[in-house]
Amino acid sequence: MFGGVAIMLNGNMAFGIVEDELMVRVGPDAYEDALAQKHCRELDFTGRPMRGMVMVSAAGIDADEDLAAWTRRGVAFAGSLPVK
């Protein structure tokens, strides 16, 4: 997916790796809060932002606790969606 590796939960993407960045599906309600975090930016592969999905740079996930926090966010949102 998107030229990287995606981790799925019940058929829904939770997070993935694209080059050296973490792609996280945070959902539309948590999107603005996620973007306010350091090292986070919009996901815009097509030139248009994909609301509800963000990219976290390598600097934002270099500590184990930071990586765990971001992946938990993705798992929490994916887990809230209906099973595909």
pTM (2 decimals)? Answer: 0.93
Is residue 8's pLDDT more than 80? Answer: yes
Rg (alpha carbons) of the chain, rounded to whole number: 12
Average pLDDT over residues 4-14: 96
Band the pLDDT of 1: cuts 50, 70, 90: low
Q: How confident is the model over 13-43, as pLDDT tens digits?
A: 999 999 999 999 999 999 999 999 999 999 9
Instruction: Give the neighbor-by-neighbor strand order of the sheet with 40-42.
Output: 5-9, 12-18, 21-25, 53-56, 40-42
Whether the Cβ atoms of residue 28 and residue 81 lie closer than 8 Å to each other: no
Closest CA to 35 of 55, 61, 63, 15: 55
